[in-house]
């Protein structure tokens, strides 16, 4: 399962045309020209060059991306925050007040890459109605054919007898990493500047817990909790909390073990890992402290 699914061709044609024109490309294939110059997966220098166009032609029309960026920039203490920023007009005015600095470019790039990914959950089509039958006399009833036993729906996995081994094999197969259990029984999956820990069910819990370390060595403050609330507002599943002794900021998600599929497990590990790898650096820049691992700028282009 590829980690990065971004493609220039997933962006609206109108946006690609505007970007190519404003950035000085004059060919007939904007997506190909942007890819050739900025790479298959653009980096912060693209945001630096294209920020005015992105603000005017992308964020003015993409409500979800605009709101995500506004929340993350305000959580990072950037720009001129003025009261509640829920309306489009106020959000755009706020974004215009933000300086085109590295922190902004990192946040905007993350949202732009997400906007260039294909839809992960296609809308299901409505089932077809059966054709209406004519009102004819029913023929002599025939014995019903023996129906095969129902099978498990595609994509669903029956719970294995050895659940821990199933989790180990799933992570190794889909994420391509070899993992071992620590003395507490957790699996550790390195992910950028963090490590994602997978804890399978304990005797008194029906959940599989997936968590990642964001920050330690920080000084607690009201601003940190406001930033955590802003992060939580952006994530539909994982939640950011402080551990019981107030020394570590964690991001975690829980899944029902009895209903768990391979797709759900791997997707949640990637969601927690990508989010933690993104937000831990932002928190460190603003509040100091330490991420779990040294940050890296390495990316994978496909």
| Domains parsed from the chain with CATH numbers | 8-116 (no CATH), 163-296 (3.30.1460.10)
Q: Comparing C-alpha atoms, which of 302, 244, 277 is closest to residue 5?
A: 302
Each residue of 16-69: pLDDT tens digit? 999 999 999 988 899 999 999 999 889 999 999 999 999 999 999 999 999 999
Q: How many other β-carbons are positioned within 10 Å of the β-carbon of residue 212?
A: 29
Can you state the angle between helices 262-287 and 163-175, rounded to 10 degrees? 70
User: What span, in angstroms and rounded, lies between the C-alpha atoms of 239 and 233?
Assistant: 9
Can you state the angle between helices 262-287 and 222-234, rounded to 10 degrees? 150
pTM value?
0.47
List, for the chain, all residue ranges whose pLDDT scores fall below the cut of 70: 1-4, 82-84, 119-161, 201-204, 295-302
- Contact present, 189 and 179 (Cβ < 8 Å): yes
Of all helices (H) and strands (E), which one includes residue 263?
helix 262-287
Listing DSSP states for 121-190 in one string gives: SPPPPPPPPPPPPP--PPPPP-PPPPPPPP-PPTT--PPPSSHHHHHHHHHHHHH-----B-TTS-EEEE
pLDDT at 191: 86
User: What span, in angstroms and rounded, lies between the C-alpha atoms of 257 and 167?
Assistant: 10
Beta-sheet strand order (sheet of 248-256)? 187-191, 194-199, 207-216, 248-256, 239-242
> Using CA of residue 252, residue 258, residue 264, residue 266, what is the dihedral sign?
positive
End-to-end Cα distance, the chain: 12
> Using CA of residue 5, residue 6, residue 8, residue 12, what is the dihedral sign?
positive
CA angle 172, 183, 178 (to 5 degrees): 15
Can you state the angle between helices 63-75 and 102-115, rounded to 10 degrees? 150
Q: How many other β-carbons are positioned within 10 Å of the β-carbon of residue 133?
A: 6
């Amino acid at each position: 399962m590829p980690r990065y699914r971004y493609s220039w061709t997933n962006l609206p044609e109108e946006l690609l045309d505007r970007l190519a024109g404003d950035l000085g490309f004059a060919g007939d294939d904007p997506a190909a020209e942007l890819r050739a110059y900025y790479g298959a997966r653009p980096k912060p220098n693209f945001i630096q060059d294209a920020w005015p166009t992105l603000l005017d032609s992308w964020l003015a029309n993409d409500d979800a991306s605009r709101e995500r960026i506004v929340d993350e920039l305000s959580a990072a203490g950037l720009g001129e925050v003025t009261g509640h920023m829920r309306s489009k007009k106020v959000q755009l005015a706020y974004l215009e007040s933000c300086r085109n600095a590295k922190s902004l470019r990192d946040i905007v790039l993350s949202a732009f890459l997400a906007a260039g990914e294909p839809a992960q959950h296609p809308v299901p089509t409505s089932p077809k109605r059966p054709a209406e039958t004519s009102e004819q006399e029913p023929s002599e009833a025939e014995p019903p054919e023996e129906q095969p036993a129902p099978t498990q729906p595609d994509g669903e996995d029956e719970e294995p007898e050895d659940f821990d081994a199933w989790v180990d094999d799933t992570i190794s197969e889909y994420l391509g990493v070899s993992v071992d259990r620590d003395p507490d029984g957790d699996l550790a999956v390195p992910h950028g500047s963090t490590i994602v820990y997978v804890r399978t069910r304990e005797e008194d819990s029906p959940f599989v817990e997936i968590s990642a370390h964001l920050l330690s060595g920080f000084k607690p403050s009201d601003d940190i909790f406001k930033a955590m609330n802003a992060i939580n507002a952006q994530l539909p599943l994982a939640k950011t909390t402080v551990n019981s002794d107030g020394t570590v900021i964690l991001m975690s998600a829980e899944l029902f073990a009895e209903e768990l599929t391979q797709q759900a497990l791997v997707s949640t590990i990637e969601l927690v890992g990508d989010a933690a790898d993104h937000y831990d650096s932002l928190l460190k820049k603003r509040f100091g402290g330490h991420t779990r691992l040294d940050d890296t700028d390495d990316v994978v282009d496909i």
